[in-house]
């Protein structure tokens, strides 16, 4: 196999120039998993104990991301126009991203409400479609109808109380982040112990 055909995802080399296995390479970077887990754990605790604060932070992060992404899209549109390429779509995408980012930063409450209402609309449409399909299904139709009813109820609750629904979703996100963070920390510690034992022997 030539160098050009060699795979790009080979494990790294150790200090003696020997190829490490993927497990060994991962064990040597155990700290990255622990750090990732700590960040997720901290966010999860904040989201669980202070969901409004966590929700506001997420909206601000998304707002800055949309601004930066929109700016890059506009730059790409200008460069495409200078090379006589298609630039209209890129320009519209950039302007929309900047507008969305400004709304998320300056009016976070409005951004949260719109997002939750879109989620409510999706839940309502899904519920209706499931109920309609349940009437045309011969087997296990009651399960499909139950799923449609739950989706409809969830959509109605979100539509009538979008901010409360956003807070509930943030709490669930916090629970997920806590579980994910604990899992990453446990995995990192286990890999550290394996790596330390390998160095001893």
DSSP per position, 15-60: TTSPBPPHHHHHHHTHHHHHHHHHHHHHHHHHHHH-HHHHHHHHHH
Instruction: Yes or no: say if 160 and 5 are a contact pair by the CB < 8 Å rule.
Output: no
Start-to-end C-alpha separation, the chain? 35
Q: What is the pLDDT of residues 133-147, one digit of tens each?
A: 877 765 557 777 888
Is residue 184 within 8 A of residue 37, CB to CB? The reply is yes
Cβ atoms of 110 and 72 within 8 Å: the answer is no
Structure tokens at 32: 């990255």
* Residue-level pLDDT at 6: 43
The pLDDT mean for the chain works out to 78
Which residues are paired to 13 by β-bridges?
A: 19
Most confident of 14-23, 45-54, 81-90: 45-54
Question: In this predicted model, what pLDDT tens digit does every residue of 50-102 receive, in sequence order?
Answer: 888 888 888 888 889 889 988 988 888 888 778 777 778 878 888 998 998 99
CA distance 120 to 111: 14
| Helices marked H in the chain | 22-28, 30-49, 51-82, 88-106, 108-135, 141-160, 162-200
Residue extents of the structural domains in the chain: 35-196
Q: What is the mean pLDDT of residues 172-181?
A: 88
Residue 129 has pLDDT above 60, yes or no: yes
pLDDT of 24 above 70: no
* pLDDT band at residue 166 under the 50/70/90 scheme: confident
Q: SS3 for 86?
A: coil
């Amino acid at each position: 196999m030539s160098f050009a055909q060699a795979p790009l995802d080979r494990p790294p080399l150790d200090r003696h120039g020997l190829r490490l296995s993927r497990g060994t390479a991962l064990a040597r970077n155990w700290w990255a998993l622990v750090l990732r887990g700590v960040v997720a754990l901290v966010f999860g605790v904040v989201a669980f104990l202070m969901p409004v604060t966590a929700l506001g932070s997420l909206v601000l992060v998304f707002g800055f991301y949309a601004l930066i992404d929109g700016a890059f899209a506009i730059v790409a549109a200008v460069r495409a126009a200078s090379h006589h390429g298609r630039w209209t779509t890129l320009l519209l995408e950039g302007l929309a991203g900047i507008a969305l980012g400004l709304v998320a930063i300056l009016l976070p409450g409005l951004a949260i409400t719109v997002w939750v209402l879109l989620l409510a609309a999706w839940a309502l449409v899904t519920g209706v479609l499931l109920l309609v399909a349940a009437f045309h299904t011969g087997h296990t139709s009651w399960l499909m109808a139950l799923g449609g009813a739950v989706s409809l109820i969830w959509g109605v609750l979100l539509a009538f109380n979008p901010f409360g629904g956003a807070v509930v979703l943030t709490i669930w996100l916090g629970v997920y982040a806590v579980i994910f963070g604990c899992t990453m920390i446990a995995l990192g510690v286990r890999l550290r112990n394996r790596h330390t034992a390998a160095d001893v022997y």
